[in-house]
């Protein structure tokens, strides 16, 4: 596993973006997946932390939870016109797997000059979380 939070994958899906995110824990993995997704839109170091939002999602599996988490972030981006660059994630397992997060970001207008593309949706194509020798790996394909 590379010594980084995420890595973009080439030749996975034409006209889309794909990445692997890494983490020692599920919380770290989900935060790094969100970082990878927003870095597709604009460089993370250009996104401020002026707004704070709370996010909750739930699912029956970690794969579904990852999809729901990233899809909720795309929804918040579109509804509030914001991009996010910091994620404090907590995951608890009860009857379902629940994720609660505090996310920090800024308006798209404040970083518009740095935006590279837009993420329309998170796909199920090749979506997976697997445990490898050095930690957890999530594979995600984004519809641009």
98-127 pLDDT tens trace: 999 999 999 999 999 999 999 999 999 999
Q: Give 139's pLDDT tier (boundaries 50, 70, 90).
A: very high
pLDDT tens digits, 60-110: 999 999 999 999 999 999 999 999 999 999 999 989 999 999 999 999 999
What crossing angle do the helices spanning 26-41 and 62-80 adopt, rounded to 10°? Answer: 40
**The two structure tokens encoding residue 115:** 């935006």
Q: Which residues contact 72 (CB under 8 A, 6 or more apart)?
A: 55, 57
Q: What pLDDT, on the 0 to 100 scale, is given for residue 62?
A: 97
H helices present in 81-123, as ranges = 108-111
Residue 74 in 3-state DSSP? Answer: helix
* pTM of this prediction exceeds 0.75: yes
Q: Which residues contact 63 (CB under 8 A, 6 or more apart)?
A: 127, 128, 129
End-to-end Cα separation, the chain, in angstroms: 26
Q: What pLDDT, on the 0 to 100 scale, is given for residue 1?
A: 47
């Amino acid at each position: 596993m590379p010594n980084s939070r995420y890595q973009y994958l080439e030749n996975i899906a034409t006209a889309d973006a794909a990445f692997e995110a890494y983490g020692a824990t599920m919380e770290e993995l989900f935060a790094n997946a969100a970082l990878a997704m927003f870095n597709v839109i604009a460089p993370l170091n250009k996104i401020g932390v002026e707004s704070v939002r709370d996010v909750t999602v739930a699912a029956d599996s970690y794969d579904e939870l990852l999809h729901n988490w990233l899809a909720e972030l795309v929804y918040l981006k579109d509804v509030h016109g914001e991009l996010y660059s910091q994620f404090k994630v907590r995951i608890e397992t009860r009857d379902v797997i629940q994720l609660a997060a505090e996310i920090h970001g800024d308006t798209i207008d404040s970083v518009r000059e740095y935006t590279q593309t837009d993420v329309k949706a998170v796909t199920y194509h090749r979506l997976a979380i697997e445990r490898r020798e050095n930690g957890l790996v999530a594979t995600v394909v984004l519809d641009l």
